[in-house]
Amino acid sequence: MKTNSLFRSIALLAAIALAVPVFAKPFTKTINIAQAAKVGKADLQAGEYRLSIDGNKVTVQKGKQLMAESEGRWEDRQTKPTYDSVLLGEGGRLLEVRFAGQNRVFVLNE
């Protein structure tokens, strides 16, 4: 009888653990881009943008207007930056976004 109850408890905990990411909120952050950048097919001018990262999808908004969408992944780094920043590559392409105090960065798949 106790084994059956233990098995049910473990199954319930496993179901809850699998359901928790479904209810997780997207990670949102306001960043400043100091120069023109390119995200996906969109060209962004210098300015303030709102990033929303949900799983492996990032959306970029300026005010209420959707500016760009792209795919990416989280990667761990050894050091934690002291401020939010973006890493731009060749042609102004946005490569990664770094967040202050976090040892993980969001790397775009482009």
- β-partners of residue 85 are 98
Whether residue 56 is contained in a domain is answered as yes
Cα within 13 Å of Cα(60), Cβ side: 25
Whether residue 5 is contained in a domain is answered as no
**Contact, 70 vs 86, CB < 8 A?**
no
Instruction: Tell me the pLDDT band of 40, cut-offs 50, 70 and 90.
Output: confident
Checking if the pLDDT of 17 tops 70, the result is no
CB atoms within 10 A of CB 22: 6
| Rounded Cα gap, residues 97 and 106, in angstroms | 5
State the residue range of the domain holding 74.
25-108
Whether residue 52 is contained in a domain is answered as yes
Structure confidence by residue, pLDDT tens digits, 77-93: 999 999 999 999 998 99
Residue type, 60: V
Whether residue 3 is contained in a domain is answered as no
What pTM value is reported for the model?
A: 0.74
